[in-house]
Amino acid sequence: MRNQAEGLIINVTSGFGRVSFPFATMYAASKFALEGISEGLHYEVKRLGIDVALVEPGAFPTEMQQKNNPASDQGVFAGYGAIADLPNKMVAALGGEMQAKKPNPQDVADAIVNLIGTPKGTRPLRTVVDPITGPYIEAANQAVAENFAKGLTVFGMGELL
């Protein structure tokens, strides 16, 4: 890609790659890692003609929900005491939001196709695809972007923006 001065890397993370919800900690940690790699690489290779973009889906009705396996060791589960039922409350609330907003997984594929079709050098770093918590993730992204730009400038790398 560097030799050709052209390329596109699209990584799919999650809104949980920006905020870490309780009881999704390990999932969020893996998404945070991909966010960090992608963000740093985005600024490193942008001026070399290579775009790095992130797609941040929220919750969608996919097989992931059916394959979610709560604690099988009831002793560990019981050790959570007063908060042991919170994951069930979260799943129920999310189910209600999915029923109300009816997110379509095709929206994620469409976002990726849109990024591919966007002219080189104009692709956004982050694309949120989430009708449920998207506004919160967008606000977090905006706040971080503004302060990140200040940090790059302080460290003498403002030209990478």
Catalytic residue annotation: 27
Q: Which of 27, 35, 33 is CA-nearest to residue 59?
A: 27
b/e map 122-135, b = 16+ CB within 10 Å = ebebbbbbbbbbbe
* Strand ranges in the chain using DSSP code E only, listed in sequence order: 7-12, 50-57, 126-129
Phi, psi of 51 (to 5 degrees): -100, 140
Phi, psi of 68 (to 5 degrees): -65, 125
Token pair belonging to 85: 């039922």
